[in-house]
Structure 1
Amino acid sequence: MTAFVNSIQEILKARHSGLHLIALEVTSSKTELAYQEVKIKLGEDGNHKPMPPEESEYWIELARNTALNKTWGDLKPKEIRNISKCLWYSSTSTPLVLDDKFLTPLIESCQKNLKKRLCAILIDGYLSNYKKDGQGIKLLGKWLAQTVTVWDWPWADRQKSFSLFDNDDAPRVISDIIMKSNDSLEKVLNDCGISGNRLSVGMGSYAFLETLKFFRKNAESLSTGNTLFYLKRIQEWSVADGKSFSYPTLKTTFIESLLLPWVNATPDEKIVNQTLGLLIDFFGDPRLGGASWILVNEDAMRIIRGWLVKRALAQFLDVVDELALDRQWKYRRAFWMAYYNKGVISDAWVAFAGNGASKAREIAKRHKDNSWLSFGNLYGSGDANHAVLILRIGDLIIADFSHMGKWRIWKAVSNQKAPKPYEKQYDRYDIMHGNADHEGPHLPVDGWQRKVEQVIANATGIKLMMKEYMPR
């Protein structure tokens, strides 16, 4: 008896502290039953383990025979519970929940045998398999909305607070509450009843989708502070299991929702950094390929490519700035940023020798931004401080070596020796002796720019005025 009482006390203590209930060691079948009953009373029951397929098939067959023979009154409470667990199961046959002729009499049987345990099973099925306007969902939701209020338990409160079983409104209401609450995400998800196994499916997935829709529509008009808050909340929600992206079917929607608000606007640099870090952490660098980026809208891809061009320039300029001569480096910064500001650099990539690579990793760690880790490795330079910036402007490939190295320009279409952006390894010798169509030193420090600008202008028609590319 002592073990039984202790188990009950532990359960109540866990609930009172606001922690999610964990599996407690059960020493007897009596204690196990008491544990389950307390969970039901607290409204925590529902995250059920899936029934084995062969067992599901048995109960589905019983359900279909019952419907055919109209012998619902002969079913025992346990049989009704087990059939209720299989409503959404589908192997070769149509799920029971899609059959109104079956679902209506089942709900009537549930009403006649109404118990919290049975209701909790149907709640779990509803939330885990929710589809907006899904067949059967409205009928079951309408019944649950009325039924959960019969008892004094958390599901009644959830229905009142979140319209949890109102088919059209629930995902939006849950999304609004989660995104506006100052409570921890874990607490709000638990309050809504979509934590645990329900988080990334059904209602949890639709609520997350509503959040993405809101962000895509409104991010441009929000303050920087609010946008950053929403981004952080979205990030927490998307990995609420603490491991990986929780909504694999929403990958493309997720990426586009975070990028498309900025089609006609330039976000604060903090927003860019947070978004880049988030997307690259989840899906990798789009410049390096990857299945997650294949279906992404071209406008969204254009936005992230533009941000990554600027990031590559920042890598080259900021990292090498600490390793190069001040008297010549400010001219490089002004020159290449002028082309970036004109929006004509379509690709940008950096390759670092040892010291530059270490510095880039240091910056990534300091800012917790893995987009700084995307770069190539430069070998054969003989100097660990060396780096090379590789750009594409129009049909030209440009390689600009750090320190006192030369600039080199290739016509990419006709010159197969041109280095390609986004490679993992670059040999300094290959770039230096790659039969460039044009090359020259960065001398004088305020004079080489005119020659490079003329080469680019003649080949692409893209022109800059001196006041645009000289440092102020």
Structure 2
Amino acid sequence: MDAVFKRCERSAGARRALIEGWIRDFSYEAPRIVDAGIAIRRLITSTSDARIASWRDADRWCRLFDAREGPRTLARQIVQGPDPVEDILRRACLDDPMRAVSGYVRTVAEEALRLVPDRLGGSSGPVTIERLTQFLVPGGMIRFPDPEMRGLVARSLLTPWLAGRAAPAEPVRAAVQTFLLSHLGDPRLRASQWSRAGDDAIALMRQWLARASLIAFFEVIGEYAYDRHWRYREAFWSACLKAGAIDDAWLALGNAVHTSARAVKDLNGAYARLTGSAVQSNQSILLLRVRNTIFCEWSHEGKLRAWPVDWKTAPKLYLAKYTKEDVIGAGLPFPPNLQYGSKGRQDSEDCSIGILKVVGGREASPRCWPTAPTSTSPTRIGCRNELPLPGRSAAE
């Protein structure tokens, strides 16, 4: 190190090469990274070379060449500071294209992601996401696209709500979900992008997407196919979702459905198309997985259908397109009823209505369900003891 320092004292080119190499290869674990930073600070303060004046100013401002504090100081400026992220990087001499993807900037990104979870829980959440986007996704391209960094990003943004913590405020949840869908993709469709995020983070994101699919479906129903019975069915599935009984959901929209609706936009393209001559252009379906059962809800008074998840006739989730034939294969039996016909059974043996009464509230009515699969009991799909009626505790 002493020999390198002596050479840099004599050569402006050697000084600049040392600085660029230190920034490029920076890592907390790099050999003698602290000593090299100290040497650089001595060099830039002991010379009058105008070509390194900007480095000298950057070090005075944010302790750039302090190998321990420099990255943390910049991370705090990026996450919490008032100045635009672009200006912060420029002032730190890190806006050059090569330096912008250097080891030093990567370390700053890791430090910033450690700060993010504590900022997301309050009113500063959306602003934090906006600043993180400016830093991590300049020009719409993620700065460090490797699996490890993608995993860090996902986990940092979802950490505040793991382990059963309270749900985020809606503006924060929407901002986090949009960021992750835009820059990491849907974990159900692009699993490799989420490989380092952790199972609990992936599960949470899937729950959020199931919620978004359900909201979008009923928004579409309200705009294109509202019928009185839908308020009961919406209450039913919403209660299932709130209780954590819906494991996955996938929406398929007809060609004429207004995809600019807010709830549909919230999915950021994470839905399918319902096509074919056998369906109306404004019809839609919602596929749900509840434990080991697949359900298919139709708009426009379509019948509810259900299949065990391992049946060959059960629809596959996450396809890009569906036709009617894809989602009406032989499923669980829907018995006739002398009084109500295809509207299902009113007696206690009608297991779908049993589920409805458990999770849908006191307004549940057997006339609200066009059909009722006899095998979809609360016990079968794992809901009987998990879903209290509105206004009651689970212990009642």
Tell me the TM-score normalised to structure 1 length: 0.69
| 29, 48, 71: which one aligns with 1:171 | 71
Shift of 1:172: 0.2
Q: Which has the higher contact order (CA 8 A, sep 6+)?
A: 2
Q: Show the counterpart of 1:401.
A: 298
1:134 is paired with a residue of what secondary structure?
Answer: coil
Alignment of 1:51-90 (within 5 A): none
Shift of 1:188: 0.9
Q: Show the counterpart of 1:227.
A: 125
1:411 aligns with 2:311: no
1:271 is paired with a residue of what secondary structure?
Answer: helix
Give yes or no for contact 2:38–2:66 (8 Å, CA) kept in 1. Answer: yes
Q: Show the counterpart of 2:365.
A: 446
For 1:351 and 1:294, the matched residues in 2 are separated by 26
1:287 is paired with a residue of what secondary structure?
Answer: coil
Shift of 1:175: 0.7
Q: Show the counterpart of 2:150.
A: 251
For 2:197 and 2:102, the matched residues in 1 are separated by 22
| 7, 32, 49: which one aligns with 1:136 | 32
Q: Show the counterpart of 1:285.
A: 186
Shift of 1:305: 0.7
Question: Is the deviation greater in 323-332 or in 306-315?
Answer: 323-332
Alignment of 1:31-180 (within 5 A): 103-111=1-9, 113-115=10-12, 117-150=13-46, 151=48, 153-180=53-80
Alignment of 1:167-316 (within 5 A): 167-196=67-96, 197-216=98-117, 218-219=118-119, 222-224=121-123, 226-240=124-138, 242-249=139-146, 250-263=149-162, 264-316=165-217
Q: Show the counterpart of 2:317.
A: 421
Give yes or no for contact 1:335–1:449 (8 Å, CA) kept in 2. Answer: no
Cα gap change, 1:286/1:298 in structure 2, threshold over 3 Å: closer, same or farther? same
For 2:321 and 2:39, the matched residues in 1 are separated by 63
| 365, 377, 398: which one aligns with 2:273 | 377
Gaps of 5+ in 1: 1-102
Give yes or no for contact 1:339–1:345 (8 Å, CA) kept in 2. Answer: yes
Question: What are the Cα deviations for residues 220-254 of structure 1, in whole angstroms up to 9, with x where unaligned?
Answer: 5x412x111111111111122x1411112311111
For 2:293 and 2:173, the matched residues in 1 are separated by 27
Q: Show the counterpart of 1:349.
A: 250
Give yes or no for contact 1:141–1:165 (8 Å, CA) kept in 2. Answer: yes
Give yes or no for contact 1:399–1:407 (8 Å, CA) kept in 2. Answer: yes
Question: What are the Cα deviations for residues 303-345 of structure 1, in whole angstroms up to 9, with x where unaligned?
Answer: 1011011011012111221001242222221111000000010
Shift of 1:295: 2.9
Give yes or no for contact 2:212–2:263 (8 Å, CA) kept in 1. Answer: no
For 2:323 and 2:273, the matched residues in 1 are separated by 9
Cα gap change, 1:452/1:230 in structure 2, threshold over 3 Å: closer, same or farther? farther
Cα gap change, 1:212/1:467 in structure 2, threshold over 3 Å: closer, same or farther? closer
For 1:396 and 1:375, the matched residues in 2 are separated by 20
Cα gap change, 1:453/1:237 in structure 2, threshold over 3 Å: closer, same or farther? farther
AA aligned opposite 1:235: T
AA aligned opposite 2:316: K
AA aligned opposite 2:16: A
Tell me the TM-score normalised to structure 2 length: 0.82
Alignment of 1:359-374 (within 5 A): 359-361=258-260, 363=262, 369=266, 371-374=267-270
Bigger helix fraction:
1
Cα gap change, 1:215/1:456 in structure 2, threshold over 3 Å: closer, same or farther? farther
Shift of 1:355: 1.8
For 2:227 and 2:382, the matched residues in 1 are separated by 31
1:322 is paired with a residue of what secondary structure?
Answer: helix
Aligned residues, how many?
Answer: 355
The share of aligned pairs that are identical, in percent, is 25
Q: Greater Rg, structure 1 or structure 2?
A: 1
The RMSD of aligned alpha carbons is: 2.6
For 1:378 and 1:422, the matched residues in 2 are separated by 12
